[in-house]
Structure 1
Amino acid sequence: MQAIQTPHYPILFNNDCYSFLQETITPDKYSKVFVVADSNTSQLCLPNFLAQLATEVEIEILEIDAGEINKTIETCTQLWYALTEMGGDRKSIMINVGGGMITDLGGFVSSTFKRGIDFINVPTSLLAMVDASVGGKTGVDLGPIKNQVGVISNPIAVLMDINYLGTLPQNEMRAGLAEMLKHGLICDKTYWEKFLDLNELTTDDLQQLIYESIIIKNNVVTQDPTEKGLRKILNFGHTLGHAIESYHLDAEEKTTLLHGEAIAIGMVLESYISFKKDLLTLNEYTQIKEVITSIFGKTEFNQTDIENVMKLLSHDKKSEFGEVLFVVLNGIGKASFNEPVNNELITEAFHDYLA
């Protein structure tokens, strides 16, 4: 597959990834390589990755516990100390091998250690491949609040070995579809329609869909790299989705949701809001709801759950001057941003989702 060139770095695929590493990580450029992985990718992906990391530069492995609950400043502090104790300097490079948690956190650690060292992201989950691979967003959660601390900082490359998808459980693969569906809904109706019958998809189809999804996101980010305007449309489903994810992460009686699972719920809710604002037709909204719930099922919410989710909205990064702003759909394949929504309509959206 041909490389995708973002404004700041290339996204390389399959065998080209390892050719790039061999050409780039040489003793004249880098003093030490730090490879960051979590306890899952360390076991499932790292052996294959290290076997193909042919370099004379010294390699150190840094393993952290898996799970969104560990995407914290405390984990960053542990890594900063480890980098210091292992002799990391300005000529060190970090390679983050894992899902979105690893690329977000590892990118943030790299961007702040010694005021910034080079890093490479190797996304191993479908979600990370189509979402975290583009745009340079790094960061960590603050308690249950998603991505509250971070910077936009670009890697020198993203390496996409599709074979790592074979290590994923089914729910992780399904979660990755959420961001792909989102890209179709906000930018490309034809792309969205390719997901209307998932039973027909082959492995080759999936590889092509991943490629197209990355191109869609890259086109948006290229026009607005620091999210001052157009890039905000990539947050469709995330205003409510992030609040739902945070609530399920923090509430002991709730089952933790994967990021993509929460965003899928958010997309249904925010599609309903778009419909009630006369921006989507009933047929379009019904199609979106049916496609997404057929893939993800439904998550139950009682009135207390809904109220707690709405309290978390005030922490949303897209809030401005105390007002929570949403991305809405103007028909399938088009979106607009900075749309205010009242609490009554949000509650109504939850009730319709559950109907």
Structure 2
Amino acid sequence: MNAATPAVSHQAAGDPRPDQRPAFPFAALIGQAPLQQALLLAAIDPGLGGVLVAGPRGTAKSTAARALAELLPQGQLVNLPLGASEDRLIGTLDIETVLRDGSVRFSPGLLAKAHHGVLYVDEVNLLPDALVDALLDVAASGVNTVERDGVSHSHDASFVLIGTMNPEEGELRPQLIDRFGLMFELQNCFEPAMRQAIVKARLAFDLDPQGFRAGYAGRQAAYVERIRAAREALPQLAFDDAVHAHVSALCIEAAVDGLRADLVMLRAARALAALEQAVAVTAEHVDRVAGAVLIHRRHQRDGQAGGDAYESEAQRQADAGGAADRPAGSGADAASASPGADENDWGYLPPEPAPTTQVKGVIPLGAKKR
């Protein structure tokens, strides 16, 4: 259910410009409640680091990303194409100004264009690592700093980063995937009623986009108001020690690397509390966002996974190290023949003499023939 929309979306909850095709309404997405929640949290607090949406082809990844942009105040959606250069992303020296006036001027890139909007990266796993690293840095900090080609420039770049990928086409490196604040995995739908509802909605939208959108105008406006109110409430919400302790326990149990998961989980729980206009952040809010925070950061702890194997390997090496000191007859045959023999001695054979053969000597060549 992928809507074909342009690179820049229209104003939130309003009609598209004459030269723009309408987007599929966010409120009309079917069976995507967890993904919708993750996208709304990123819209409320762009400092979360964005949302990575993984899933097979045709699961409405791009449709959901484009639909979210329409709910933001400026309704701006910027696409980062796969072939984009680093200069196109972060900005660079304005060559035209240099040649014309001889002065140094900064030429903004896509990060500046996406300010207060959505930066959408389809197939982010196929982008060069350096490009992904650069955009994730800016997504987390909200500031783009360029120091190159004689240019020293900084500008605000607060945007909702949404990356999509099909795992069948390759994975992101662990260092990069960890930088995304939230992750959500879409699955193919095999429920007949759900599939029929999705297809009917898409066909209705394609047949009459404006009429279809009109039916969801009220719910779209409600989403816009919820995001606005949540952004205003966000700074007033604090975390108590119990919430901090709960977050720490979940991250320790998941054996995450570093403290990024703790920070993202706290911020995501706060954004959820603000979305629901709660008076405080609670452990329940934490539990409801923990899955999206930990799904791409979770590791198996050494004490739980592989611990028995590690102990067995250590014991085997210790036994092997002491084999040279064992007396003859302490191997498997002796152990089976002697009741009460150490059962850890199995598998070791006593040393046996090996015959030697005299090798004919080699006559060295003279100095001149060498």
* TM-score of the pair, normalised by structure 2: 0.25
Structure number with higher relative contact order (C-alpha < 8 Å, ≥ 6 residues apart): 2
Of Structure 1 and Structure 2, the greater strand share is in: 1
Find the structure with the greater CA-based Rg: 2
- TM-score, length basis structure 1: 0.26
